[in-house]
A and B are shown apart, each in its own frame.
Chain A
Amino acid sequence: MKKLLSVKKLKVVYDSSAGKVHALRGISFNVKKGEIFGIAGESGAGKTTICRLLMGFMEKNAGISGQVDFNGDDLLKLNYKDLYRLYGRKIGFLPQSIASLNPLLTIGTHITETLKKNLKIKKKKILKKKAIYILDALEFSDSRQVYNSFPYQLSGGMNQRALLAIAFCCFPDLVIADEPFTGLDPDVQNRLLETVRILKDKKNISMVIVTHDLKVIEKICDKTAIIYNGSFVETGETKDVIKTPLHPYTQSLIKAMPENGMIPTWGFAPGALYDDAGCSFQPRCPTGSKEKKKHIINSPASVGNNHYVWCLNVKNQESVKDLL
């Protein structure tokens, strides 16, 4: 399969009064066409930074290095105009909350303005027909009513579906989702995830899903990366990462899931100001040594089937060829 998005050695550093803030410490991943790539981690690990970077919303004082290749374009080097040409048509964005819907516009207006801009349709009748068709596809029982509703008149789940409609209505090649479907009940969440699955399979859409919810990852992601303090600690096929986690951080995340007893991990993440070389999970690691010497990890251990672990305790089972 063709690579659609490839991120190489992406680093983001801010200058602040407290010192250098390392938001991302060199992450690399590839997303193939029609694949869902999930990134999971705790708050402050750099998940949202990845999203904002892919959407071109970085602050001006951020020092960004690395490469983000999308279909042959380097997103980091594109100027404002070219980047905006990609938005909507090629890259879609699925935001986190219903604050992303304008309270003064109806759901229908939100969808039609997206269609109008990206598909260059002028006629209002056709726009409305298309929008209602899309709402129908998202299993709204009364699409016409939803079309004329304001966001505050709908429930949280319905608004999330409306956001899905906006993100997917032009069938972009890649959809970036920043913590989608958080704060919804499991039933609605399941249904939305199923809808995403179907949409993605039908139109061969790739996705990058950033979340702290391992259930979302488990349900729809093909590949998963676990991020800790700005760097990946484990990547691989979702079933490998979730079922046979090798990195102690991934193991502790899985232990902290509700159905596994919600056992918290000892200690806190060192934060983005931490700038020693070496494993940043070492102080919290149950198996790691407590000596002051830092464990420097130059390359991840490969345990087969594209499963990589950034841990010294994991034995390398095959030679690391090309990363990912």
Chain B
Amino acid sequence: MNKIIEFKSLIYKPYFYFLLFLVLTGINPFLISGDNPYTTNLSRRLEPPSAEYLFGTDDLGRCVFSRVMHGARISIGASLSILLLSLLFGGSLGILSGYFGGWVDEFVMRITDIFMTVPTIVIALVLARSLGPGIKNVIIILSITMWTGYARMIRGLALDIKNRHYVETAKTIGLKNSYIMLRHILPAILPPILVMATLGMGRNIIMISSLSFLGLGIIEPAPDWGAMLNHGTSYIRTAPHMALFPGVFISLTVLSFNLLGDELGSAGNGRQFFMNTRNPGNPKGIR
């Protein structure tokens, strides 16, 4: 296959291993932490980190380490779902409006403008108040607010590609518009979308945590990092580890996703990820 995805440079990046670790724990948190994140033990409340409890225990005697590990599943899972939903919705609207132009473009972009005039967090707060907390609602709320950026950006990318000669040639072959969009435009704009999505993952984690911190997102006893941070602030003087570890994990995860996005973006706009970078230059001397 010529389509070699060159991830070689990532082997030397520590954040790549951190993300890999989070994804694996997200898939099965019990691999790493043996303790049940919901089991309370009131006799061992607010214990500092020790060999038994790596990250200490919280006010109900629950293992903070296992709660943080289980939180990876919620944070990464929820932000991935938000990403996919908003990318699917915003992306398809963006590609349609970029490709067809005219009134379709006007219509979609004006709706996007309306959404963009109100700050994301305000819409999210209002919706969260009316829908109530819970992981499903968080995903719905943030998907509704996050799609506009993707729609804008993908429209711009599609506008660029649709005027390329090869798209015109595809039309002269008699290919359908839907086929041209999927087969000729989408692969060409996929690398920047990939970068955008990686950066979006970090943003989504922060948004989920912010909502949880405000008590409108994922609530106790579910082990979400934002909710744990919120809960830990009450004990910040007696047991700082309760807020510290979820906070560190939020920061590290967001940082890792941003670094990954930068790495993908700096690699020649990501085009190499879909093509063999080295030009073999007619190896067999065919004419």
Q: State the Cβ distance, B286 to closest chain A Cβ, in Å.
A: 4
Q: A99-B165, A101-B166, A148-B2 are known contacts. Are A87 and B282 too (CB-CB below 8 A)?
A: no
Q: State the Cβ distance, B5 to closest chain A Cβ, in Å.
A: 13
Q: State the Cβ distance, A246 to closest chain B Cβ, in Å.
A: 36
Query: Which A residues between 64 and 96 are near B, CB-CB below 8 angstroms?
Result: 84-89, 91-93, 95
Is A152 among interface residues, defined by CB-CB distance under 8 A? yes
The answer to whether B279 touches A153 (Cβ under 8 A) is yes
Which residues of chain B are near A14, meaning CB under 8 Å?
Answer: none
Which residues of chain B are near A117, meaning CB under 8 Å?
Answer: 173-176, 179
Is A142 among interface residues, defined by CB-CB distance under 8 A? yes
Query: Which A residues between 147 and 177 are near B, CB-CB below 8 angstroms?
Result: 148, 150, 152-155, 157-158, 166
Query: Which B residues between 167 and 197 are near A, CB-CB below 8 angstroms?
Result: 168-176, 179, 183-184, 187-188
Is A141 among interface residues, defined by CB-CB distance under 8 A? yes
Task: Considering the complex, give the chain A residue whose CB is closest to the CB of B177.
Answer: A84
Is B237 among interface residues, defined by CB-CB distance under 8 A? no
The answer to whether A87 touches B279 (Cβ under 8 A) is no
Cα distance A106–B175 in the bound complex, in angstroms: 17
Q: Number of A residues whose C-beta is below 8 Å from B? A: 39
Cα distance A186–B224 in the bound complex, in angstroms: 70
The answer to whether A153 touches B281 (Cβ under 8 A) is yes
The answer to whether B281 touches A113 (Cβ under 8 A) is no
The answer to whether B286 touches A113 (Cβ under 8 A) is no
Cα distance A117–B176 in the bound complex, in angstroms: 9
The answer to whether A140 touches B280 (Cβ under 8 A) is no
Is A279 among interface residues, defined by CB-CB distance under 8 A? no
Is A57 among interface residues, defined by CB-CB distance under 8 A? yes
Q: State the Cβ distance, A121 to closest chain B Cβ, in Å.
A: 14
Task: Considering the complex, give the chain B residue whose CB is closest to the CB of A191.
Answer: B287
Q: State the Cβ distance, B61 to closest chain A Cβ, in Å.
A: 56
Which residues of chain B are near A100, meaning CB under 8 Å?
Answer: 165-166, 168-169
Partner of B164, one of A55, A99, A113, A157: A99
Partner of A145, one of B168, B275, B286: B286
Cα distance A85–B281 in the bound complex, in angstroms: 38
Is A97 among interface residues, defined by CB-CB distance under 8 A? yes
Contact mask B126-168 → A, CB, 8 Å, 1/0? Answer: 0000000000000000000000000000000000000011101
Partner of A87, one of B172, B274, B284, B286: B172
Which residues of chain A are near B286, meaning CB under 8 Å?
Answer: 140-142, 145-146, 158
Which residues of chain A are near B2, meaning CB under 8 Å?
Answer: 106, 148, 150
The answer to whether B287 touches A141 (Cβ under 8 A) is yes
Cα distance A87–B176 in the bound complex, in angstroms: 11
Is A306 among interface residues, defined by CB-CB distance under 8 A? no
The answer to whether B284 touches A93 (Cβ under 8 A) is no
Band of interface residues on B:
20 to 34
Which residues of chain A are near B184, meaning CB under 8 Å?
Answer: 102, 105
Q: A93-B169, A148-B2 are known contacts. Are A118 and B174 too (CB-CB below 8 A)?
A: yes
Task: Considering the complex, give the chain B residue whose CB is closest to the CB of A161.
Answer: B287
Q: State the Cβ distance, A8 to closest chain B Cβ, in Å.
A: 23
Task: Considering the complex, give the chain B residue whose CB is closest to the CB of A97.
Answer: B165
Which residues of chain B are near A142, meaning CB under 8 Å?
Answer: 284, 286
Q: A102-B166, A113-B173, A141-B287 are known contacts. Are A155 and B183 too (CB-CB below 8 A)?
A: no
Is A104 among interface residues, defined by CB-CB distance under 8 A? yes
The answer to whether A153 touches B280 (Cβ under 8 A) is yes
Cα distance A99–B165 in the bound complex, in angstroms: 6
The answer to whether B282 touches A153 (Cβ under 8 A) is yes
Cα distance A140–B169 in the bound complex, in angstroms: 23
Is A302 among interface residues, defined by CB-CB distance under 8 A? no
Which residues of chain B are near A141, meaning CB under 8 Å?
Answer: 286-287
Which residues of chain A are near B165, meaning CB under 8 Å?
Answer: 95, 97, 99-100
Which residues of chain B are near A93, meaning CB under 8 Å?
Answer: 169, 172-173
The answer to whether A145 touches B172 (Cβ under 8 A) is no
Q: State the Cβ distance, B193 to closest chain A Cβ, in Å.
A: 14
Is A114 among interface residues, defined by CB-CB distance under 8 A? yes
Which residues of chain A are near B164, meaning CB under 8 Å?
Answer: 99
Which residues of chain B are near A55, meaning CB under 8 Å?
Answer: 172
Task: Considering the complex, give the chain A residue whose CB is closest to the CB of B167.
Answer: A102
Q: State the Cβ distance, B198 to closest chain A Cβ, in Å.
A: 20
Task: Considering the complex, give the chain B residue whose CB is closest to the CB of A114.
Answer: B173
Cα distance A279–B179 in the bound complex, in angstroms: 48
Which residues of chain B are near A166, meaning CB under 8 Å?
Answer: 169, 173
Q: State the Cβ distance, A100 to closest chain B Cβ, in Å.
A: 4
Cα distance A150–B3 in the bound complex, in angstroms: 10
A-B contact pairs, 29 of them (CB 8 A): A86-B174, A91-B172, A93-B172, A95-B165, A95-B169, A95-B172, A97-B165, A99-B165, A99-B166, A102-B166, A102-B188, A103-B275, A104-B188, A104-B275, A105-B183, A105-B184, A105-B187, A113-B183, A117-B176, A117-B179, A141-B286, A141-B287, A142-B284, A142-B286, A150-B2, A150-B275, A153-B280, A155-B282, A157-B287
Binding site for B on A (CB under 8 A): 55, 57, 84-89, 91-93, 95, 97, 99-106, 113-114, 117-118, 140-142, 145-146, 148, 150, 152-155, 157-158, 166
- A-B pairs, top 6 by smallest CB distance, nearest first, are A88-B174, A87-B174, A93-B172, A99-B165, A100-B169, A142-B286
